Amino acid sequence: MNCSGCSFIQPIEDQGTVSLRPLSPSLEQLIRQQAYDIYIVEDIGSISYYSREQMLDILHWVRELPSEQGDDLSIGILGVDNIGGEPSWFPLSTLITRLQHHDIVEIIRQKQFTSHMQPIVDKQEQIMAYEFLLRPIPDGPGFQPYKLFEVAHRTGLHSFLDRAARISAIETSALHLPTGVKRFINFLPSSIYNPQYCLSHTFAAIERLKLDPQDFVFEVVETENIMEMPKLQDIFNVYRSNGINVALDDVGSGYSLPELIGKLKPDYVKIDRGLIDRCDQDEQKQRDIRNIAERTWDIGSHVLAEGIERREEFDFCRSIGINLAQGYLFGKPSEHPFAVL
């Protein structure tokens, strides 16, 4: 069984073929007018290229085709070492974006990233968990994590990246953390088309490393539109059936509405940093935070305040009963676990 979107194309070589399908008689005529070196098998036309620049010229030409020719085209690229094999087929726009962001695509393809850990503390400021965040590898190419995921979305690689990031976090946690310390790891609901299959790699990694599933909390990332309720409930159910807790991230921001707490019943609710920022000075924010906290406590779950940078913010959250917190006040993301600053 395959998980749609979880596959990954081979690296694009400097020589090979660009294949187009379906090939209509009129499209074939247009190709021959360009004097390309073409061969045809059934409804597939394959054009040979001999440099990356020539390949880009071919794709640029295809992109400029009249809409009646180009709208339904799928593109496949095979390097010279794989000629005769079956290419992975993608919409033209996806491949154009991949080529425009080749450097970032290579970071994703080669998994040139690692996981840093940011502490999560209890009301006594004792570390009880870490959130794992994607960062560049030492001496590797730099990147901004949001840009990496943005390009991954636009190029159809978000499932590959999301899965690889989860596995990186799990492996990093095995190196540094003892049993009993919670590990918060982000996930993209849109990358999980079939939860039983797409998450099997995650569960296999936990089992392979002999880790306790109860130490893991998987949370919906802050930028993800989580309005597909049945799908997200299904994902949550698969995590829980494997002994893993789930969290709703950035509650109080645009997508993560407080009303979702009762519907999804997450084990942890993380309050958006926008609400936490200077909450000690803003009565409306205080009312919103109390509302979220009370909804969470009503279902027997834990509340965590994110983005705490000032002592006054932490003091207010503790004063209303919020017992978990995260932010620069307690420590920035780091390669290794560390004591509270």
Q: pLDDT tens digits for 156-208?
A: 788 889 999 999 999 999 999 999 999 999 998 888 878 988 899 999 999 99
Does position 225 have pLDDT exceeding 70, yes or no? no
CB distance 322 to 314 below 8 Å: no
Sign of CA dihedral 266, 268, 269, 273: negative
Query: Rounded mean pLDDT of 330-339?
Result: 85
Does position 6 have pLDDT exceeding 50, yes or no? no
Query: When comparing pLDDT for 262 and 83, which is higher?
Result: 262
Q: Note the pLDDT tens digit of each residue in 86-135.
A: 777 888 777 778 778 888 988 998 899 999 999 999 999 999 999 999 99
- N-term to C-term CA, the chain: 48
Q: What is the pLDDT of residue 83?
A: 65
User: Among 4-13, 90-99, 137-146, 231-240, which is the least confidently predicted range?
Assistant: 4-13
Residue 268's nearest CA partner among 219, 323, 322 is 219
Beta strand pairing status for 268-271 and 74-79?
Answer: unpaired
Does position 329 have pLDDT exceeding 70, yes or no? yes
Q: Average model confidence (pLDDT) for the chain?
A: 87
Does position 7 have pLDDT exceeding 60, yes or no? no
The contacts of residue 9 (CB under 8 Å, 6+ apart) are 77, 88, 90, 98
Spatial strand order in the sheet of 89-91 = 38-41, 44-49, 16-21, 74-79, 89-91
